[in-house]
Amino acid sequence: MKTISENRCYGGTQGVYSHASDSCNCEMTFGVFMPEEAAHGPVPVLWFLSGLTCTHENAMTKAGAQAWAAEQGIALIFPDTSPRGADVPDDDAYDLGQGAGFYIDATTAPWDKHFKMWTYVAEELPALVGENFALDMDRQSICGHSMGGHGALTMALALPGRFRSVSAFAPICNPLNSEWGRKQFTAYWGADESQWGPHDASVLMQGEGFDGPILIDTGTDDQFTALLGTPALAQAMAEKSQQGTIRLQKGYDHSYFFIATFMEDHVAFHAEALYA
């Protein structure tokens, strides 16, 4: 693991690091915020998965999460959204290829050599940060935005016992029925839908649900409302009697201004679960 930068931040340290990833077959970069309490022992962990076109840096610099995480004594981890590099395949469209890993493992060429973001975020990166930082990996929660909200919800639902709570800002809730999902699944898994994985929060919710609280915020002026599928997840949660809250925030859009506005709520929500 290489240290790219480390800066004093709200009494703790905001670092950026890189490493050679076995799952993604390239160099991967990620951010970690460690609160002041980490100097005295392991601290709980909150993952933040970013959306389309983003890197590790967007949420790290725009979401304002460090102030609230420092207040709660929680570490933040900001993974990248896809593999990157000159040898990594890409597409001219913003919503496919680099910056659009969709938190799944590709099985079709040319994507299958590098695009293993499920394995990377669910297995490889947790092992790496657990070995190198003072983190209490028995106390983890997860959050995400848009495509990252899709990743946060599906990981929470598909990895029972891993996360104590999950939240999302404007998540893609029903990718099997959205252009933000069907396009990427077709590219990464092939046209045969029988080979597609169950990486859809609305579908996964119909199974065992999530053994913990869920918080979702979506703006009423979100310019991508038709692509998110929020009603499908709301219906699935209601039918499952899932503990959770979906809030429609009047006048807010899909931007980081929206995320920064409600980040305090989300960190406090996770802190309650992490310290229970």
pLDDT tens for the chain, 276 residues long, are: 999 999 999 999 999 999 999 999 999 999 999 999 999 999 999 999 999 999 999 999 999 999 999 999 999 999 999 999 999 999 999 999 999 999 999 999 999 999 999 999 999 999 999 999 999 999 999 999 999 999 999 999 999 999 999 999 999 999 999 999 999 999 999 999 999 989 999 999 999 999 999 999 999 999 999 999 999 999 999 999 999 999 999 999 999 999 999 999 999 999 999 999
Q: What is residue 181's predicted lDDT score, i.e. its pLDDT?
A: 98
Q: Please list, residue by residue across 78-93, b when 16 or more beta carbons sit within 10 angstroms of its beta carbon and e when fewer do.
A: bbbbbbbeeebbbeee
- Write down the pTM of the prediction: 0.97
Q: What is residue 91's predicted lDDT score, i.e. its pLDDT?
A: 97
Q: What is residue 242's predicted lDDT score, i.e. its pLDDT?
A: 98
* Number of CB atoms found within 10 A of residue 235's CB: 14
Cα 218 to chain center, whole Å? 16
Structure-block tokens of residue 207: 């199974």
According to CATH, the topology of domain 2-274 is Rossmann fold (3.40.50)
Alpha-carbon distance of 6 to 26, in angstroms, equals 22
User: Measured in Å, how far apart are the chain's first and last C-alpha atoms?
Assistant: 33
Alpha-carbon distance of 157 to 236, in angstroms, equals 13
The residues annotated with a catalytic role in the active site are 146, 222, 254
Give residue limits of the domains in the chain.
Answer: 2-274
Alpha-carbon distance of 212 to 135, in angstroms, equals 21
Q: What is residue 164's predicted lDDT score, i.e. its pLDDT?
A: 98
Q: Are 151 and 103 contacting, i.e. CB atoms less than 8 angstroms apart?
A: yes
